[in-house]
Amino acid sequence: PPHPPPPLTCPVKNQAPVMSSSSTHEPFLLSFWEENLPPLLAYSPHPSCPPWFFVSLGFCLLFGALKVTVGKVAKVESYSLLHCVIVAPLSLLCLHYDNSALAMTGVSEPLRTLQCSGPLTPLHTFLPLITLGYALLDLFEGLYDAKPDFILHGSALTLLFSMSAYTGTTHRVATTLVMEVSTVPLQFIHANLPPVPMLLVNLTFLLTFVACRLFLVPKIWYGWLATYYSEPSAQTCMPEWYITVVWVGGLVFHGLNFYWAFYIFKRVIRKAKGVEAMGENADEKEKGE
């Protein structure tokens, strides 16, 4: 009889990577995550609910409390800034670990993940749960205030990351969160800043947007596809339809990023020509025209 299809779920135990004998040093902060995150990722106040739910719910409540108590400071949304300030550097750290995977385990990424070897570090499992909590708040706010953009953004992120959490595969999307690096300067685009700092904010946003959303994340996506089709061992543990999800998800998110890039570069040209003001009065000037 034919063999049943392999399960989608990868091992969810957050074990320390097996260090290669050729490796002479431990990657930056690895021991910290190995010591502190596994208990959190294994804790559940109620046996019928998975631990990831409480982690994401906790961050949702944290961001919500910050939104209610602090709100906007100098036109900067405090809870949104906190999310990207946490996620952006940690996603870069996950990317650093992925680049060190060969020395850490003897198998490079993304081949190791495609072979369903589980998360490279506990941080890879934990980080997307923070964004899931943020997405839940976006969705709640959109539904409460009837904001279509918040509903769309929150729904898309909640669906993607909750599916990953439910199947124990959040580690597969951790490095894609480097997109949040460009969100940090974006938070200050409408802040009350003098002209020179505002110019630096705009330039930083432009550079990080291009580097992370138009280069790094598409490169990660291409690496997944290239490894999947070139390495037979990468096609043995995941169901055939999973690569379709990778194709569709990548095309949608990269399509959106290039769509936004078109309007960003359009505004850059307007600013360079002096048609649009720099900073907080840009929108008002545009409306006046």
Which residues are bridge partners to 77 per DSSP?
72
The total of other beta-carbon atoms located within 10 Å of residue 276's CB is 18
> Which residue has tokens 């597969």?
172
- pLDDT at site 188: 92
Helix axes 51-69, 122-145, angle to 10 degrees: 50
- Is the model's pTM score more than 0.95? no
Look at residue 123 in the predicted model and tell me its pLDDT: 94
How far, in Å, CA of 31 to CA of 183, rounded?
A: 28
Give me the DSSP letters along 194-250: -HHHHHHHHHHHHHHIIIIIIIIHHHHHHHHHHHHHH-GGGGSSS-TTHHHHHHHHH
Cis check: omega of the bond before 119, within 30 degrees of 0: no
Q: Which two tokens stand for residue 209?
A: 């947007």
Residue 3 confidence (pLDDT)? 53
What averages of pLDDT result for each successive group of 10 residues across the chain (289 residues)?
Answer: 48 46 62 82 71 90 94 91 96 95 91 90 94 93 85 85 86 94 92 88 93 95 93 84 85 89 85 63 40
What length does the chain have? Answer: 289
As a whole number of angstroms, the distance between CA 34 and CA 15 comes to 8
pLDDT at site 24: 46
